Structure 1
Amino acid sequence: MIALDVADLDVWFGHGEDRVDAVRGASFSVEKGGSFGLVGESGSGKSTVLRAITGLAPAWSGSIIVNGKPLGATRDRTFYGTVQMVFQDPYASLHPRHSVDKVLNETLRLHGIRDTNRRIPELLEQVGLGPSFRFRYPHQLSGGQRQRVAIARALAPEPSILLLDEPTSALDVSVQAEILNLLTDLRRERGLTYVMVSHDLSVVGHMTEKVAVMKGGEIVEVMDVAAMRAMTPSHPYTRHLLEASLGYKRAG
């Protein structure tokens, strides 16, 4: 079963002479329980694709289908109960004056979940944080702990699809592996579907089964991670990215 199907997606900003086409003709699909990566250099359009799916980039055309349901111009509570997003910067995505309890309480109530006193400790436990973190504020947390709270917030409505926008790039290298392992465990335990944006090919290779390579707003290649590891891309730009990530150019 296809959890997410994106076809001929165009996303733009501005109008007339000021129009900027950020994504052009992007198409890909992700099977239920699968993990799909979008990679490319800064400005390639990969994060804009996620924003179009969530409704944060309102000017778009094409087709976006979630669990067999085509999306229109707006997103309702049902959509956000199915699809949630984890952003790049865990500090910017959390209100500095809201405690962890308030962040999770508001999210749960927004989705019609009233049993918050039971659910909040469960959510914190699921992301590896104990009850002592419940009434802390973002400035009292490390970067990794803040991202765990952001993941708990995304899990609150029990979605089936998580969109991950560079979820570890703002973290120290020592913490990145912990968050990636947490996301891997959550996907396995909950049968989640992931779409992950990253500029780091090693992260995508670890987390996903298929990868779309973006350049200048277009998907130039969709490949299996096995082909990526074997250095057998079909597009020269993909080869350039792979060689750059390894730090050398293969002979031959």
Structure 2
Amino acid sequence: MSAIEINDLNVWFGEGPDRNDAVKHVSFSVPEGESFGLVGESGSGKSTVLRAITGLVPTWQGGIHVQGRPLGRKRDKTFYKNVQMVFQDPYASLHPRMTVDQVLSEALQLHGFKEIDSRIETLLRDVGLGPGFRFRYPHQLSGGQRQRVAIARALAPEPKILLLDEPTSALDVSVQAEILNLLTDLRAERHLTYVMVSHDLGVVGHMCGQVAVMQHGEIVEELGVADMRQLKAEHDYTQHLLDSSLRSIR
């Protein structure tokens, strides 16, 4: 069974002459336990697809199925227990006046978990942070540490699917590699399914088995990572992205 199946998805903003069609006739399927990449330059519509899945965009039509269940306009608590999102900017995604302990406690309590203390310790350990980080505020953390906390928060409800919206683009290059390796390990350990958005084919080449390339709101090509590494792209735009990322993916 597919963890996520998207059929003829259209997303728009505004109405009438002000309407902007951000996503047009997008379809793809992600098997359980796999990692799927959406790649394209800024404004290509890739992040909008993730927001449609999570219910953050109200104006869409088409089919969205998660674990075989069709989604309507609203998302219930069960959805957010199974599907979580990690955002691009770790500086903006954490409340500046909440400690790491408060951030994780809130997420765990929201989903009805008990034994909060032990679960927080486990989450911090799983993302490579020790107990010394538990009572720190976001301004006391580096960018990479903040993103580790954001990942721990996403893992708190024990989801099956993570939507990753440029999770390393705001980080230094050396820290990017650490976070990507962490996400790779977590997927294997927890049997997670990923949909990752990136503008960098090198990043998704490291993380994903299958990649869809988006341009102007449409998928122009879908290919496997093996074909990417052998430069077997058919569309000119995909070839352009490959040329830009050549050093990263080989």
- TM-score category of the 2 structures, normalised to the smaller one: over 0.9
Q: Which residue number in structure 2 is paired with residue 243 of structure 1? A: 243
1: distance between equivalents of 2:204 and 2:184?
Answer: 12
TM-score (norm 1): 0.96
Q: Which residue number in structure 2 is paired with residue 45 of structure 1? A: 45
Letter in 2 for 1:149: V
Q: Which residue number in structure 1 is paired with residue 126 of structure 2? A: 126
Q: Which residue number in structure 2 is paired with residue 250 of structure 1? A: none
Q: Which residue number in structure 1 is paired with residue 222 of structure 2? A: 222
Letter in 2 for 1:145: Q
Q: Which residue number in structure 2 is paired with residue 30 of structure 1? A: 30
> In the alignment, is residue 169 of structure 1 matched against residue 169 of structure 2?
yes
Q: Which residue number in structure 1 is paired with residue 93 of structure 2? A: 93
Letter in 2 for 1:80: Y
Partner SS for 1:124 = helix
Q: Contact 2:7–2:63 (CA<8 Å) still a contact in 1?
A: yes
Task: Give the 5 Å matches for 1:171-190.
Answer: 171-190=171-190
TM-score (norm 2): 0.97
Q: How many residues align?
A: 247
Partner SS for 1:231 = coil
2: distance between equivalents of 1:245 and 1:222?
Answer: 17
In the TM superposition, what whole-angstrom CA distance separates every residue of 1:182-233 from its partner, at most 9, and x where no partner exists? 0000000011000000011111100000000000000011110111110011
Letter in 2 for 1:114: K
Partner SS for 1:21 = strand
Partner SS for 2:92 = coil
Q: Contact 2:96–2:137 (CA<8 Å) still a contact in 1?
A: yes
In the TM superposition, what whole-angstrom CA distance separates every residue of 1:54-111 from its partner, at most 9, and x where no partner exists? 0111111000000000001000110001100000000100000000011011111111
Q: Which residue number in structure 2 is paired with residue 116 of structure 1? A: 116
Letter in 1 for 2:188: R
Q: Which residue number in structure 2 is paired with residue 17 of structure 1? A: 17
Choose 123-132 or 235-244, whichever is displaced more. 235-244
Runs of at least 4 residues off by over 2 Å:
244-247
How far 1:114 moved relative to its partner?
2.7
Query: % of aligned pairs identical?
Result: 73
How far 1:46 moved relative to its partner?
0.4
1: distance between equivalents of 2:232 and 2:240?
Answer: 12
Partner SS for 2:3 = strand
Which consecutive residues of structure 1, in runs of 5 or more, have no partner in the other structure?
248-252
1: distance between equivalents of 2:165 and 2:246?
Answer: 23
Q: Which residue number in structure 1 is paired with residue 8 of structure 2? A: 8
How far 1:244 moved relative to its partner?
2.5
Q: Which residue number in structure 1 is paired with residue 67 of structure 2? A: 67
In the TM superposition, what whole-angstrom CA distance separates every residue of 1:94-143 from its partner, at most 9, and x where no partner exists? 00000001101111111111321121111101101011111000000000
Letter in 2 for 1:123: L
Q: Which residue number in structure 2 is paired with residue 76 of structure 1? A: 76
Q: Which residue number in structure 1 is paired with residue 205 of structure 2? A: 205
How far 1:246 moved relative to its partner?
3.0
Choose 111-120 or 63-72, whichever is displaced more. 111-120
